[in-house]
A and B are shown apart, each in its own frame.
Chain A
Amino acid sequence: MRRFLVLLPPFAWLLALVAAPVAILAGIALSQGAPGVPPFLPPVSLAAGWQGTLENILTLVQDGYYAGSFLRSLVVAGVSAALCLGLAYPVALGIAAAREGWRVPLLAMVLLPFWTGFLPRLGAWIGLLRDGGWVNGVLTGLGVTAGPLPLLYSDAAMYLGMVHAYLPFAVLPLTATLLRRDLAVEEAAADLGASPWVVFRTVTLPLSLPGAAAAFLLVFIPAAGEFVIPELLGPPEALLVGRVLWAEFFQNRDWPLAAALAVALLVLLIAPIRLFQRLDEGGSRRGASPPSRVGGTAADGRRPGVLR
């Protein structure tokens, strides 16, 4: 009974804020579009009984247009997540290696831009990258380029915006994982003659994999559905799933198809989340058992942290 009471709030939360909206979305995805307010017929009504349709879901599968946009979104999300991971790793390593008093200020510096508004930051990039913007102003002013370079509305600008927006999501889990690792293991490897690079490659890196996977996914998942950044900074051909969904909802006023797209995106993203859970379980097993073993042999009075 106590257990039930403890579990009730999180379950109520999940039901109200996750299960119910998804169920409503799935209901709209199964309904037929019709002019009116709202612009569809409910899939089940008291008067007509079942009047839903699988047509919207079939359209998603049969029309290559949607598969194409999903694929592009996954590629953009993958590249953004990889770029974030690549940038975040040295930052996280540095923060984890810093003296204790320094860690919080360093983390704050990573998070600080995150606390300012999202749109003003994008607006700042527009101001920097546009034809009459600062970057082009400096380049032409110094005579590096003859005229303004088309920096804005490009893939590069889009990835810049993505990395800038999502970098803290990658730094935080990596830092947490790297801080938790047992330094005695690295020390043991160094004592046994491994060079710093070999220590990093064979000990530090494998130990940080769960954090890296979390970092990758925390960027990948929101980036896959990202709408605003590609729209404001990216090239017009960046036809990602967010944009396609917007067009179905607002331009075609086809709420059922838009809902079907949203459900499909959700289902697609469950796969990497499951993968992450598996990695995490495997990783924590790998991360937990060897240090306890090594920790036992290393407990002969030497101070850990010789590497530093």
Chain B
Amino acid sequence: MRRRWSLAALLAALLALPAAAQPVLNVYNWADYIDPAVIQRFQRQTGIKVRYDVYDSLETLEGKLSAGRSGYDVIVPTSEPTFARLVRAGALRPLDKDKLPNLRNLDPGLMQRVATVDPGNRYGAIYLWGTVGLGIRLDKVRAIWPEAPLDGLDLLLKPENAARLATCGLAVMDSATDVLPSVLAWLGKDPNTSDPAELKAAEQALLAVRPQLRAIPGSGALLDMLATGEVCVALTYSGDVIQAAARAREGAKGVELGYVAPKTGVHLWFDLLAIPADAPDPEAAQAFIDFVLQPEMMAAITSQVRYPNAVPASRPLVAPAVRDDPSVYPPEAALARAFVPATPNQAGERARTRLWSRFRAGR
């Protein structure tokens, strides 16, 4: 549904008559992934009008960019696989570091983690990052099973546990890219494997709990389902769970929603600010990226969307409830166990997609 909305927004953007004098910046970002006040301040300060459009899956973003002339000036792809592939396909424009003084604000350690796919960090600056793990409706799970093991993927992936919790709703987000690495790590295998036997093991593990899954929705839809209580255990992005928790609290129904990063190995990902090679207004794009990378702006964004950023100077400015939440900024110990999955080759990708559709189909 969100996909359709963003399509409608794009259409509206195309139909809107371009204002003759005012420069326009087209930003394409994940849904629910910015503090709207930051956009307003950018518009006021620079006089550049921002047209903001959203997606809720990397597939949508990559599909549009692959067609060429997407019309976007700033995009926010995830480091692996989309950003890596866009770099390789020559679809991105190198950042002009002289015009981006605030690049210096970024944590060199985190930027180093991205340099594996973008040597010298030529094409991207970290916007936000996060992990993949379980969103758990603690209130509902406890009602069914008070002593349920709430510390890792065993809760969802062990068939006997899944069977016990099936009545309150289990779900896995619909993304082979962002689910398989965690499942492989849970099995004690290499998350980047292309070995058919190891992929088969992951498929069997997923199929074993498949009958208990209520849905396999897109991440955006899954956020809503967690917030409304449609599901009680879901494998999805960290910040989505924390956003869902905040939304559910607004609804005020005694909802208790927690996030758990798997102890068997945490899938770590980075979303990068980048400029498409054919961006209509790269100057405005640079101005936007530099503006966003100010500590004050990043703090506002993290406070709003509950994903950590990579600007250490923003940390003291983040709302305390978000800053001190260990599910937002994972503790050092968890980061030490974290891995950034690599991008599979075309054959490996197809094997994984095929595996995923068999899992979706339940056969």
CA distance A251 to B360 in the complex (A): 14
Q: Does B32 contact A (CB under 8 A)?
A: no
Which stretch of A29-37, A41-49, A181-189, A286-294 is in the interface?
A: A29-37
Contact A36–B89 (Cβ < 8 Å): yes
Contact B361–A37 (Cβ < 8 Å): no
Q: Does A62 contact B (CB under 8 A)?
A: no
Q: Specify which chain B residues have a CB less than 8 angstroms from the CB of A300 in the assembled complex.
A: none
What are the interface flags for B212-233 relative to A under an 8 Å C-beta threshold, 1 for contact and 0 otherwise?
0111100000000000111000
Enumerate the 8 nearest inter-chain pairs by beta-carbon distance, A residue then B residue, closest first: A250-B59, A236-B216, A237-B361, A37-B68, A239-B361, A236-B360, A237-B362, A35-B89
Contact B361–A35 (Cβ < 8 Å): no
Q: Specify which chain B residues have a CB less than 8 angstroms from the CB of A153 in the assembled complex.
A: 214-215
Q: Specify which chain B residues have a CB less than 8 angstroms from the CB of A36 in the assembled complex.
A: 89-90
Contact B68–A247 (Cβ < 8 Å): no
Q: Does A103 contact B (CB under 8 A)?
A: no
19 A-B pairs in the complex with CB atoms less than 8 angstroms apart: A37-B66, A37-B67, A39-B66, A65-B357, A119-B4, A122-B1, A131-B169, A132-B228, A132-B229, A153-B214, A153-B215, A228-B4, A236-B362, A237-B361, A237-B363, A250-B57, A250-B60, A252-B346, A252-B353
Interface residues of A in 119-136 (CB under 8 A from B): 119, 122-123, 130-132
Q: Specify which chain A residues have a CB less than 8 angstroms from the CB of B88 in the assembled complex.
A: 35
Contact B353–A251 (Cβ < 8 Å): yes
Q: Specify which chain A residues have a CB less than 8 angstroms from the CB of B216 in the assembled complex.
A: 236
Q: Does A164 contact B (CB under 8 A)?
A: no
Q: Specify which chain A residues have a CB less than 8 angstroms from the CB of B18 in the assembled complex.
A: none
Q: Specify which chain A residues have a CB less than 8 angstroms from the CB of B89 in the assembled complex.
A: 35-37, 39
Give A33's nearest chain B residue, CB to CB: B346
Q: Given contacts A250-B59, A251-B176, A253-B85, list 4 more A-B pairs with CB under 8 A.
A: A37-B66, A153-B214, A247-B353, A254-B350
Contact B228–A38 (Cβ < 8 Å): no
Contact A236–B213 (Cβ < 8 Å): yes
Q: Does A150 contact B (CB under 8 A)?
A: yes
The listed residue with most B CB atoms (<10 A of its CB), out of A122, A123, A228, A251, is: A251
Q: Specify which chain B residues have a CB less than 8 angstroms from the CB of A130 in the assembled complex.
A: 228, 230
Give B277's nearest chain A residue, CB to CB: A37
What are the interface flags for A219-255 relative to B under an 8 Å C-beta threshold, 1 for contact and 0 otherwise?
0000000001000100011010001100101111111
Q: Does B275 contact A (CB under 8 A)?
A: no
Give B85's nearest chain A residue, CB to CB: A35
Chain A interface, >50% SS class = loop
CA distance A177 to B90 in the complex (A): 58
Contact B66–A253 (Cβ < 8 Å): yes
Q: Does A147 contact B (CB under 8 A)?
A: yes
Q: Does B354 contact A (CB under 8 A)?
A: yes
Interface residues of B in 216-261 (CB under 8 A from A): 216, 228-230
Contact B357–A249 (Cβ < 8 Å): no
Q: Does B349 contact A (CB under 8 A)?
A: yes
What are the interface flags for A130-168 relative to B under an 8 Å C-beta threshold, 1 for contact and 0 otherwise?
111000000000000001001001000000000000000
Number of chain A residues whose Cβ lies closer than 8 Å to a Cβ of chain B: 31
CA distance A237 to B353 in the complex (A): 15
Q: Specify which chain A residues have a CB less than 8 angstroms from the CB of B63 in the assembled complex.
A: 249-250, 253
Q: A153-B215, A249-B63, A250-B62 are in contact. Are A65 and B354 (CB under 8 A)?
A: yes
CA distance A37 to B63 in the complex (A): 10
Q: Does B91 contact A (CB under 8 A)?
A: yes
Give A37's nearest chain B residue, CB to CB: B68
What are the interface flags for B174-204 relative to A under an 8 Å C-beta threshold, 1 for contact and 0 otherwise?
0010000000000000000000000000000
Q: Specify which chain A residues have a CB less than 8 angstroms from the CB of B353 in the assembled complex.
A: 247, 251-252
CA distance A153 to B231 in the complex (A): 13
Q: Nearest chain A CB to B169's CB is how many angstroms away? A: 7
Q: Does B65 contact A (CB under 8 A)?
A: yes
Contact B68–A38 (Cβ < 8 Å): yes
Q: Specify which chain A residues have a CB less than 8 angstroms from the CB of B229 in the assembled complex.
A: 131-132
Q: Specify which chain B residues have a CB less than 8 angstroms from the CB of A232 in the assembled complex.
A: 1
Q: Nearest chain B CB to A34's CB is how many angstroms away? A: 9
CA distance A228 to B213 in the complex (A): 21
Q: Nearest chain B CB to A236's CB is how many angstroms away? A: 4
Q: Specify which chain A residues have a CB less than 8 angstroms from the CB of B4 in the assembled complex.
A: 119, 228
The residue that B1 contacts in the complex, of A37, A123, A255, with Cβ under 8 A, is A123
What are the interface flags for B146-175 relative to A under an 8 Å C-beta threshold, 1 for contact and 0 otherwise?
000000000000000000000101000000
Q: Specify which chain A residues have a CB less than 8 angstroms from the CB of B91 in the assembled complex.
A: 37
CA distance A65 to B350 in the complex (A): 13
Q: Specify which chain B residues have a CB less than 8 angstroms from the CB of A150 in the assembled complex.
A: 214
Contact A38–B67 (Cβ < 8 Å): yes
The residue that A239 contacts in the complex, of B65, B85, B360, with Cβ under 8 A, is B360
Give A248's nearest chain B residue, CB to CB: B353
Q: Nearest chain A CB to B103's CB is how many angstroms away? A: 26
Interface residues of B in 16-69 (CB under 8 A from A): 57, 59-60, 62-63, 65-68
The listed residue with most B CB atoms (<10 A of its CB), out of A119, A123, A131, A255, is: A131
Q: Specify which chain A residues have a CB less than 8 angstroms from the CB of B360 in the assembled complex.
A: 236-237, 239
Q: Nearest chain B CB to A35's CB is how many angstroms away? A: 5
Q: Specify which chain B residues have a CB less than 8 angstroms from the CB of A237 in the assembled complex.
A: 360-363
What are the interface flags for A253-274 relative to B under an 8 Å C-beta threshold, 1 for contact and 0 otherwise?
1110000000000000000000
CA distance A249 to B353 in the complex (A): 11
Contact B214–A253 (Cβ < 8 Å): no
